[in-house]
Amino acid sequence: MSVLPGRLQRKVQLAISAIVVIPMLVAGWLAAEWVSTNFEKRIEVWIVDAARANQNWLEAYQNDAVMLGRVLADDPSYVPGITLYPDIAMPSPVSRIAQGMGLTLLQVYNPDGKLLYSSIPLRVQTTWETGQTGAVLKVVRKNQSMLAAVGITPVPPKGKPQYYLVVGSLLGQDFANELTQLTGMKTRLYYREGRDYYDVFSNPAQPMTLKHLTKDMARRLEAERKPYYSAYAEDGEYRGVYTPIVDSTGRVEAIMFSGLERRTFTDLLTNRAALFFWIALLGIVIGGLTGLLLTRLVLKPIEYLRNGVMQLAGRNFNATVPIHSNDELGDLAKAFNAMAARLRAARNEERQRHQRDKLAAMGELSAALAHEIRNPIGVISTSAAMLEKPGLDPAKKAELTRMLREESTRVARLVQDFLHLSRHRQPNFDVIDPALPMERALGANIAGNDAVTVHKDFRHDGVRILGDAGLLQQAWSNIFANAVQAMSDVPQPELRVTTLCKGNEVQLAVEDNGPGVSPDIMPRLFEPFFTTKEHGTGLGLTIAYTLAEANGGRLEALPPKRSGARFVMRFPVYEGEAE
């Protein structure tokens, strides 16, 4: 695309910024706020719900264990390890029910806490207390730590207990996987040891501790025994809930973590700054594209129009504007083309008229010149004819010779002045002091004429004009020559030359104290061949007028301020840089 109208483009860009970009930023900011807050809230709700489901799942295991424990306690004959039937394994219906419930652990203890029987070989690392009905125990099986959710039932159920039945399920990696499948969330189990919590599934030699157990979190989990949600759980890798696992005495035995891994996309939706950045960027790109479209749709036709108008201003009347659309801009282009066509026609007509006028003026001027020359030529030819007559007395002869000389000088001067007028010299423009040509002409015209007093009053403050100093000097010279001639009979001839600035115009005036110009001849002063002098050509002021105009100025004869004649030349002040 060629050079667009720079300022217009800047304005359009500004307008687009105001209309599109700024509201986009605001909307982006609001959207980012809204989406991130909402999204974060919804994720939290979901995770908390899912964690509760996990907790229920765990509690269900425990309840089942307690329930099965009670059933077995009611009829301990099914229970292996109880002295009544020391050698009988758990009968198959009971073991099948237990397996169906996911309860694989059955242990029998005597009242002193001595293990009498265990369905699975394992070591229990935490102790439970008498009277406790449910517990989460830390156990080690085949060198692997895990938790067991158990129910503890005394046998017989009433009276002095002779045995304790511990029925439950092992919460190992399988359990965690089961929960992950159930809710889609990562599950971790931490068991308590002293003040710290350790990951059940990690390497027993290097158990993973629960990091970032802040005071706030510990208070909520241990004192209030309520779940704790964190958007940056497990070292910032997850959003998740820590749920305390409480035994029947109300002690926090373990902590279950259920969490959702933080992913880039969800992070984007909850990260205000990033969300704002992307929405704003999208907005700005859309704004930019809108701007481009607008430029194509509106600015381009306007640019064509502008080029057309500039060409017209540069007098290229052949300029046309392409019509691309059938809208207001298209109408404008059509109107422009019609206007250019009319201007073209007008210009051609004007040229023809100008040609006609020029021919007419030439005719008039030639007729006037012929008229001016006819008289002296008549005198010359009559004088020459009389001189040829024999016997002419010497005085008459001398008279005729003088007339011959005078008239031929007159014709020569007329021809010279006429040549001056008609020779079309192009001015050589320079940045000049407007008073300079005037002063030079004045100096040349009054040189050796001490009688003339000159009063100067220059107030043009050093302004400059564009002009040809030589041509302007010639114009002033004609004016001063007239003034000096006009004051030839004045006892104290005086010339006043003044300059002054008015607006962006400089005025230069010359006033003499001769007889002045009578109002009836005032309108004719600049006519070619108009003269009131016996030997005048009537071309001096015409030439001065033409030269002033050729230099971008204007010459006028105005009523005098004192007496005599007053001529004023005006020029536009040159505003550019001095050359």
User: Where along the sequence are the contacts to ligand ADP (CB under 6 A)?
Assistant: 478, 482-483, 486, 512, 514, 516-517, 525, 530-533, 536-542, 565
Measured from the CB of residue 467, what is the shortest distance to ligand ADP in angstroms? 21
CB-closest chain residue to ligand ADP: 540
**Toward ligand ADP, which CB reaches closer, 280 or 475?**
475
Q: Which is nearer to ligand ADP, 186 or 566 (CB)?
A: 566
Give, for 135, the enclosing helix (H) or strand (E).
strand 134-141
CB of 531 to ligand ADP, least distance (A): 3
Would you state the structure tokens that stand for residue 72, as one six-digit string?
A: 């077995």
Which CB, 11 or 533, lies closer to ligand ADP? 533
Q: Closest approach of Cβ 478 to ligand ADP, in Å? A: 6
Phi, psi at residue 465, to the nearest 5°? -130, 165
List C-alpha distances in Å: 495 to 116, 235, 477, 483.
Answer: 147, 104, 14, 8
Q: Which is nearer to ligand ADP, 189 or 486 (CB)?
A: 486
For ligand ADP, the closer CB: 541 or 555: 541
Calpha distance 495→476 (Å, rounded): 13
By beta-carbon proximity to ligand ADP, the closer residue of 340 and 479 is 479
CB of 532 to ligand ADP, least distance (A): 3
Minimum Å gap between C-beta 319 and ligand ADP is 44
Q: Are 113 and 166 in contact (CB under 8 A)?
A: no
Smallest separation, CB 487 to ligand ADP (Å): 8
**Distance between CA atoms of 211 and 213, rounded to whole angstroms?**
6
Cα end-to-end span (Å), the chain: 36
* Closest CB 415 distance from ligand ADP, rounded Å: 14
Burial of 461 (0-12, 13-18, 19+ CB in 10 A): exposed
Query: Residue 468 or 512: which CB sits closer to ligand ADP?
Result: 512
Smaller CB distance to ligand ADP: residue 186 or 420?
Answer: 420
Is residue 62 within 8 A of residue 168, CB to CB? The reply is yes
Q: How far is the CB of 536 from ligand ADP (least distance, A)?
A: 3
Query: Do residues 435 and 508 make contact, with C-beta atoms less than 8 angstroms apart?
Result: yes
Q: How far is the CB of 439 from ligand ADP (least distance, A)?
A: 18
- By C-beta, is 145 or 537 nearer to ligand ADP? 537
Residue 143, amino acid: N
Residues 139/147, Cβ–Cβ less than 8 Å? yes
Three-state secondary structure of 352-396: HHHHHHHHHHHHHHHHHHHHHHHHHHHHHHHHHHHHHCCCCCHHH
Cβ neighbors of 482 (< 8 A, separation 6 or more) are: 540, 541, 565
In terms of Cβ atoms closer than 10 Å to its own Cβ (0-12, 13-18, 19+), residue 554 is middle
